[in-house]
Amino acid sequence: MQLKPVIRPAPSDAFIRAGEHSGKIESARKNDDIRKESSESNIPGESLHVKEITESPVRKEEYKQSHKAEVRPNDNISRETKTAGAVARQAGTDTDKEAGDDRERLLNARIIGQAFDSYIILEEGEDVFVIDQHAAHERIRFETLREWFVHEEAFSQGLLSPVMVELTQQEMHEFTELEPYIRKLGFEAEVFGNRTVLVRAIPYLLTEGFSDRDFRDILGKLSEETRGVLEIIPEETIYMMACKSAIKANRPMSEMEIQSLVRELVKCENPYTCVHGRPVIISISKKELEKKFKRII
């Protein structure tokens, strides 16, 4: 499908753009100096936030100490790409404000389209944002399911045809022990014979293509996660449910679907990484692209 450009309001002046008045040019030069200083200090993965964080010597030192554990060098592009989740957690009020600015930038960005039917491409100001559509939808679903579980909100969808699940003796024992957790996760299931469970309702986010194998996978993960623990939030199980229900890679998305996904993503507590810390969004600057094409040195 051919995607049409979306006209958005003019983006914020929070980040410097080429061609603006001399005061901003001076600020841009200052940021270049700061970037150079950070590079000499061997701080990998410099992000847009780093420009502001490293202006203060105290913050620069704090950033060095915490950034070592949170950001790992990747490929050549990663020097100018941004994984903002690590930075946003350790820079105080100013960085929280900048993280908010990033969300606004995502909302105001122009949709370019998809690459390989797997990555959403947006353009805003002097940056291109690349979003992993599966990881983004997975993050949205994870936070939604987790919230429902914590507050014990009803989110079940009755099935027209109940799913019959054959279990082993061990799995049957686990089902009996974990029934309260299973119910809180949005399943309605009952014993139906010696080693059979009848699933009558499931979380409505899982309704597409749900199978007996899915139920056994979720039961197995829940048993593994809760073993020897009385009361926990089974985040790994919730993550598995989110993963099973999220948009997959190699799936074309309409412009309306992309807009909806971006709007939901920026509402997340942490829209920048998946549950296991892999990036959901990266940004590539115009300057980095120009370096790649040898337009600038």
Contact 221, 240 (CB under 8 A): yes
pLDDT tens, residue by residue, 193-209? 889 999 999 998 887 88
Per-residue confidence (pLDDT) for residue 291, from 0 to 100: 95
Between 25 and 269, residue with greater pLDDT = 269
Match 């059979």 to its residue by tokens.
Answer: 196
Match 């983004």 to its residue by tokens.
Answer: 136
Task: Round to whole Å and give the CA distance between 296 and 238.
Answer: 47
Per-residue confidence (pLDDT) for residue 275, from 0 to 100: 87
End-to-end Cα distance, the chain: 37
Residue 226 scores a pLDDT above 60: yes
Least confident of 71-75, 124-128, 146-150: 71-75
pLDDT tens, residue by residue, 236-293? 999 999 999 999 999 999 999 999 999 999 999 999 999 889 999 999 999 999 999 9
User: What is the pLDDT averaged over residues 26-36?
Assistant: 45
Which tokens sit at 3? 């995607």
